Amino acid sequence: MTTGQVPAGSTTQALEVVNLRDGHGLPLVLLHAFPLDHRMWASAVDAMPGDFTVLAPDLHGMGRAPDGPRTPGLEASADAVVSAVRAAGYDRAVVAGLSMGGYVAMAIAERHPGFVAGLGLLDTKSTADAPEARLNRLRVAHQVEAERDTTAVLGMVATLVGDTTRAEQPRIVPLVESWIRAQRADGVAWSQRAMAARPDRTHVIHDVAGPVLVLVGDEDVMSPVSAAEHMVVARRDAELVIVPGAGHLSAVERPAQVAEALADLVARASAH
């Protein structure tokens, strides 16, 4: 595993791009969920067919990434991901994100359309938060800051991991809990505020120049199958993959199926 870093620009904080696999051709950039970091992709990358490079930054506030700018916004994360991947030597990439990573992927597609050779939207949604969900994020942000730890978001594990995974792969729950415990309270607060501020980006999916993959676990209760279908309506030629026996963290719960779908997306983008 190697890493590359780009200095902070005037509007973005530097992000580190972790190189999860060296390879050839168009790289795949994987953007993680909240409140996790790039480590959530390890088993999917282990199972990944093909020989393309796989890059996975930690997004602002999470993992080893610095805090984002003073005003939280996923646009800053989007710009910083593109800067960091460009600094690693790639002008274009297939960009795939799971949940919060998907929100950032859509912001990249909107702000840097020429960068996106293909788009993967995993267990995510293109709509903005409803008012009560937004208020809840702001309440959680305030709470983790006041308590100076991430206990307030630990309970999310109950909705992140699907019922089948809990029954058949019991090691996954403590693994995800350990990733959440490792996050910083101020980073969790920044991310919640950034997600609360995101707009509806359904229109972006329609305009992506390359292929689009929409993938969802059939037991995902956070970004359910109906949210995936809403995105496919925006882009009729998108490939819809529904992963049986997976909850919200499909890439952690069913890594082989997710890896296969992502490798297929890279192959289609490379041939486009």
Chain contacts with ligand MLT (rule: CB under 6 A): 33-34, 99-100, 195, 222, 248
Q: Select 157 or 238, whichever has its Cβ closest to ligand MLT.
A: 157
Q: Select 65 or 100, whichever has its Cβ closest to ligand MLT.
A: 100
CA distance 206 to 229: 13
Closest approach of ligand MLT to the CB of residue 178, in Å: 16
Measured N-to-C along each axis, helices 185-196 and 100-111 cross at an angle, to the nearest 10 degrees, of 60
Closest approach of ligand MLT to the CB of residue 160, in Å: 6
Q: Select 26 or 95, whichever has its Cβ closest to ligand MLT.
A: 95
Closest approach of ligand MLT to the CB of residue 114, in Å: 26
Closest approach of ligand MLT to the CB of residue 30, in Å: 13
Closest approach of ligand MLT to the CB of residue 141, in Å: 12
CA distance 119 to 213: 6
Q: What distance lies between CA 206 and its chain's CA centroid?
A: 19
Q: Select 156 or 265, whichever has its Cβ closest to ligand MLT.
A: 156
CA distance 176 to 35: 9
**Which residue, 245, 254, 268, is CA-closest to 98?**
254
Closest approach of ligand MLT to the CB of residue 222, in Å: 5
Q: Select 32 or 235, whichever has its Cβ closest to ligand MLT.
A: 32
130, 214 contact by CB (below 8 A) = no
245 backbone dihedrals φ, ψ, rounded to 5°: 70, 20
Q: Select 27 or 102, whichever has its Cβ closest to ligand MLT.
A: 102
CA distance 249 to 264: 19
116, 26 contact by CB (below 8 A) = no
107, 77 contact by CB (below 8 A) = yes
Q: Is the CA virtual torsion 64, 69, 72, 76 positive or negative?
A: negative
